[in-house]
Amino acid sequence: MSDASTPVTVPAPPPADAAPHRDIWQEPMPARTTRLGLVAMIAAIGVFAVSLILAGTLGAAAGPYSIRNAGGFNFRFNVGDPDPTINALAIAMLLHAFLGTGVGLWALIQGIVATAMNRGRRFGIIAIVFAGLAPGLSLVVFFISTAANLPPA
Assess if residue 153 is contained within a domain: no
Assess if residue 86 is contained within a domain: yes
The reported pLDDT for the residue numbered 131 is: 96
Tell me which amino acid residue 144 is: I
Contact assessment for residue 66 and residue 73, using Cβ atoms and an 8 Å cutoff: yes
Contact assessment for residue 90 and residue 73, using Cβ atoms and an 8 Å cutoff: no
* pTM (predicted TM-score): 0.74
Alpha carbon distance 66, 59 (integer Å): 10
Domain limits at 137?
40-64+77-148
Assess if residue 10 is contained within a domain: no
Kind plus residue range of the DSSP H or E element containing 74? strand 72-74
Question: What residue ranges of the chain have pLDDT lower than 50?
Answer: none
Closest by CA position to 153, among listed 58, 86, 61, 71 = 71
What confidence tens digit (pLDDT) does each residue in 94-134 have? 999 999 999 999 999 999 999 999 999 999 999 999 999 99
Domain count, the chain: 1
Assess if residue 134 is contained within a domain: yes
